[in-house]
Amino acid sequence: MTLMLIILTCTILLFIWGKFTPDIIALLSMLSLFVFGILDLTETLSGFSNPTVIMIAALFIIGEGLSQTGWTALAGQQFIKMARKSTTKLLLITTLGSGLLSGVVSNTGTVATLMPVTISSAWSIGTLPSKLLMPVAFGSNTGGLLTLTGTPPNIIVNNTMLESGMEGFSFFEFALIGLPLLILTLIYFKFIGYRLLPSNKTNNKPVDISSTLHKWIEAYKVNDDYYRLRVRSVSPLLGTEIGKWNFEEEHQVSILRIKRRHPNVLKGNDPFIEFPSDDTEFKYHDIITVKGDTEAINALMIKFRLGLLPLEPIADELRNNLINQEVGMTEIIVTPKSTLVGRRVRIGRFFKRFGVQLMAASRNNKPLTDREIVVKAGDAFLIRGIWNDIEQLKVHHENLVIIGSPEGMSKTVTNITYKSYIALFALVLMIGLLVLKIVPGAIAALISAGIILITGCVPITKAYKGISWISVVMIAAMIPMGLALQKTGVAQLIANGLVETLGSLHPIVLLGGIFLLTTTFSQVINNSATAVLMAPIVILAASSLNLSAAPFMIAVAISASTAFLTPVGTTTNAMVMTGGGYKFKDYVTVGAPLLLLFLITTLILVPIIWPF
């Protein structure tokens, strides 16, 4: 028991110190429990096989799926539109959204889904993610109190009452206290909490695609030679292949993209031919995006009887017709040692070796307008290709240098495709499986994550990059701490002593003592383990005093979800720690006043709603 107290104290002090990353501290703590004989090998490693940890990893993949397929960028745009550049409004919108969503989805699922949206929205309106992410985490913890299945402690206290022969709580009964607490959270962050949130600078600023496109337009002068043409019924191109006409040599025109009017999805025909090849066949009403000067385009239209379609403003044209979740654009610079130096290249050409299309070129910060150029060291090219192929250009670092982050830009694209609906279906399916309790939560999350991976909504490599491994490892390594506290009797000893001391006083004093004890445990151990530990003790204490157990059990559920003082108290706190650049003391500074407000509200409202 003494060893257990020493390890627990050292772990908390290391977290406060902040010298090492949270996952390293948690691993050291876990190993100490084994080395000193408190836990055996199976118990020590139990966290890594815990369904909660597996579910968290799966939820990160689901969140990445929503991000890669455009939903998070689209939601971020809506958040920004609703907030109207007001940081306070955005804070309230994201906090309320996380609270309501976590009533039906797990808290971790809610935060995993909203985190990329919140980060993107924060940067877009000129504030920092640290001003928004902690409220999202606290909002999700509070929102879990809206329904019976909103958070595990609710289920645990309800089942304990049923097993004791008492009447349980209805599905929405928790909302009688959960909704006031969620409203209180919003009020707190609007008037007090926002001023206490730190301004931590992080390097997770997403790419601003609008400003990037305008920069390209200015640097490469790409606004003069892009056109969209329609293949009419009288065109000689109908039924012929691109290679037959030698557009590059004879007509000085590059075909960049073809949009089919009547694609047959059942036969595997895509609505877009992103990179037409020589054997691509023209069909009636095809819309062709081409690059060439005005004279060449006019001659092409007359010869092949093509219709001219109006272009959108060039920035919108690039974004809507040449960039999507699968195909993107970026800049590259040719290095002095590159094998490309001295070679002749044609603007608009598709380079099969690299899997990219050369859209425009610039030399010494001046656009090159010639159709064909001789490559020199330092030349900058604007290229278009599959996002994965663009990323693979990194292996050609001796030839080319990529400017910016193609992976980051891909997450800012708001085009909704069929894969977007697959990702959304996966999320809805997980919610349905969780609400109806058809399968355990971890299985529901794995099923949805599997759908996202199998259908290609997120490439497997990006899926693994999207998982916050620091959070996953830290949580897995901290789960044995809760087991050790129970196994050594430390938690039981403290709990019994406090309840026996306060039991002889007024029931409200006992209610406050239970709240404080439970929230103390929830700061350092899993909230489910805290509820499992406290629930039977509270039932016995209430019965011995001939009091109703309902108000005390509700207090256990509430206080188990008030781990506002540490990053390890709940999974959600840990998930936002890296994104917001938070330190241990930040949680104490922001969370302590909110915890006090929760305690006061509980002592006032709970006895009224559930009399002693």
Most confident of 24-33, 162-171, 480-489, 517-526: 24-33
Q: Could you tell me the pLDDT band of residue 315, with boundaries at 50, 70 and 90?
A: low
pLDDT, tens digit, for every residue of 420-466? 889 889 988 987 887 787 888 788 889 999 999 998 888 787 787 77
pLDDT, tens digit, for every residue of 515-528? 998 898 888 776 77
pLDDT at residue number 270: 66
| Interatomic CA distance for residues 230 and 447, integer angstroms | 43
Q: Is 446 exposed, middle or buried (0-12, 13-18, 19+ CB in 10 A)?
A: buried
* CB-based contact 296:205 (threshold 8 Å): no
| Mean pLDDT value of segment 290-307 | 90
pLDDT at 207 over 60: no
Pairwise pLDDT comparison (611 vs 310), residue with the higher score: 611
pLDDT at residue number 266: 46
Domains and CATH numbers, the chain: 2-44+71-203+468-609 (no CATH), 210-320 (3.30.70.1450), 327-410 (3.30.70.1450)
Q: Which amino acid is at 68?
A: Q
List, as one string, the DSSP characters of 351-393: ETTTTEEEEEEEETTEEE--SEEE--TT-EEEEEEEHHHHHHG
Q: What is the chain's mean pLDDT, rounded?
A: 82
Q: Could you tell me the pLDDT band of residue 264, with boundaries at 50, 70 and 90?
A: low
Number of Cβ within 10 Å of residue 78's Cβ equals 12
Q: Is the dihedral of CA 160, 489, 18, 24 positive or negative?
A: negative
Give the H or E element holding residue 131.
none
Based on C-alpha coordinates, what's the Rg of the chain? Answer: 29
Q: Tell me, rounded to whole angstroms, the distance of Cα 376 from its chain centroid.
A: 41
pLDDT at residue number 465: 74
pLDDT at residue number 208: 57
| Interatomic CA distance for residues 96 and 477, integer angstroms | 31
Q: Could you tell me the pLDDT band of residue 238, with boundaries at 50, 70 and 90?
A: very high
Q: Is 115 exposed, middle or buried (0-12, 13-18, 19+ CB in 10 A)?
A: buried
Region of poorest pLDDT, from 8-17, 247-256, 262-271: 262-271
The half-sphere exposure of 319 on its side-chain side, counting CA atoms within 13 A, is: 21
Q: Could you tell me the pLDDT band of residue 160, with boundaries at 50, 70 and 90?
A: confident
Number of Cβ within 10 Å of residue 416's Cβ equals 16
Alpha helices in 221-342 (DSSP H): 294-304, 314-317
pLDDT at residue number 605: 96
Pairwise pLDDT comparison (109 vs 379), residue with the higher score: 379
Q: Could you tell me the pLDDT band of residue 209, with boundaries at 50, 70 and 90?
A: low
pLDDT at residue number 218: 72
Give whole-number Cα distances, 52 to 46, 49, 218, in Å. Answer: 11, 9, 50
pLDDT at residue number 477: 83
pLDDT at 322 over 80: no
Percent with pLDDT over 90 in the chain: 22
Pairwise pLDDT comparison (56 vs 176), residue with the higher score: 176
List, as one string, the DSSP characters of 86-127: -HHHHHHHHHHHHHHHTTTS-HHHHHHHHHHHHHHHHHHTT-
| Interatomic CA distance for residues 203 and 266, integer angstroms | 43
pLDDT at residue number 505: 78
Could you tell me the two tokens for 48? 């890594």
pLDDT, tens digit, for every residue of 480-507? 877 787 788 776 776 677 677 876 678 8
Number of Cβ within 10 Å of residue 34's Cβ equals 16
The Cα diameter of the chain in Å comes to: 98
pLDDT at 412 over 60: no
List, as one string, the DSSP characters of 409-459: HHTT-----HHHHHHHHHHHHHHHHHHHTSS-HHHHHHHHHHHHHHTTSS-
pTM for this entry: 0.61
Give the H or E element holding residue 479.
helix 469-487
pLDDT at residue number 237: 93
User: Could you identify the residue written with the tokens 């999320």?
Assistant: 427
| Interatomic CA distance for residues 379 and 399, integer angstroms | 11
Number of Cβ within 10 Å of residue 112's Cβ equals 31
pLDDT at residue number 495: 65
pLDDT at 147 over 90: no
pLDDT at residue number 183: 96
Q: Could you tell me the pLDDT band of residue 570, with boundaries at 50, 70 and 90?
A: confident
